[in-house]
Amino acid sequence: MAERKPIESWLTDMDGVLMHEGIPVPGADAFVKRLRESGTPFLVLTNNSIYTPRDLHARLSRIGLDVPVANIWTSALASAQFLDEQRPGGTAYVIGEAGLTTALHDIGYVLTDVEPDYVVLGETRTYSFEALTKAIRLINDGARFIATNPDEIGPSAEGALPATGSVAALITKATGQKPYFVGKPNPLMMRSGLNAIGAHSETSAMIGDRMDTDVRAGLEAGMETFLVLTGVTKAAEVDRYPYRPSTVVDSIADLVERIA
């Protein structure tokens, strides 16, 4: 295996890596502090499209993690950037919350239910049967189908919640049309994030807690990958996958000293 170049920039997932169920993972504060003090380019990524970067900055700040708004990259932002490149100034019917609608407004998209160019599906706390019916009819009438991410479930204090991937499957079953998923594990989200901080995959690393999204996305984007065991994927599950992370560590605390 060819030796990789030194890591000059870092991308890290948020839930399961920096925080778990609203509580910071031990070492996360030291990791973020080291990144900021060293001036190392970095991004905190999330497939969740509910919140704006400003919202996430505030949520992280409340638990002692000072991540600037400019260093937060969401599937909503990646989806908006993708649509802006594909069809600038277009129209969309959106099922989602402020993170997604704000991102689309910011690129100049018009949100409408009248002959939209796209139906864009993201997370929401309340999936409306009326909204899903509208989306199905619009797709049947020719709207293109985009989804922010393929995550099938999301966490909550009460247990698992249906997420974008599950709802997308319902719409696909009703229309016969599969969405284009922009978020992880699509390497498009990683590459757009790298471009946002002026980084290159050959000298960048991805930290995640899930083999199926974080590690796969980093691998397919050509990055060095680190799996932490503080989230979804457990140590015993790693060998079940046909691909491997570059390195498996117990937690983000083990990577603080890797920052140059």
Cβ-based neighbours of 3, under 8 Å, separated by 6 or more: none
Is the Cβ–Cβ distance between 150 and 167 less than 8 Å?
Answer: no
Question: Can you tell me the distance from the alpha carbon of 194 to that of 200, in angstroms, rounded to the nearest whole number?
Answer: 6
Query: What pLDDT band is residue 154 in, cutting at 50, 70 and 90?
Result: confident
Is the Cβ–Cβ distance between 80 and 107 less than 8 Å?
Answer: yes
User: Up-side HSE of residue 151: CA atoms within 13 Å toward CB?
Assistant: 25
Residue 42: is it exposed, middle or buried by C-beta count within 10 angstroms (0-12/13-18/19+)?
Answer: buried
Query: What pLDDT band is residue 162 in, cutting at 50, 70 and 90?
Result: confident
Query: Could you give all domains of the chain from N- to C-terminal order, each with its CATH number?
Result: 7-46+183-256 (3.40.50.1000), 87-179 (3.40.50.1000)
- Residues with a catalytic annotation lie at 13, 15
Tokens representing 25 are: 């993972």
Question: Cα angle vertex 217, ends 216, 219, to 5°?
Answer: 65
pTM of the model: 0.94
pLDDT digits (tens, 9 = 90+) for 61-101: 999 999 999 999 999 999 999 999 999 999 999 999 999 99
pLDDT at 1 over 60: no
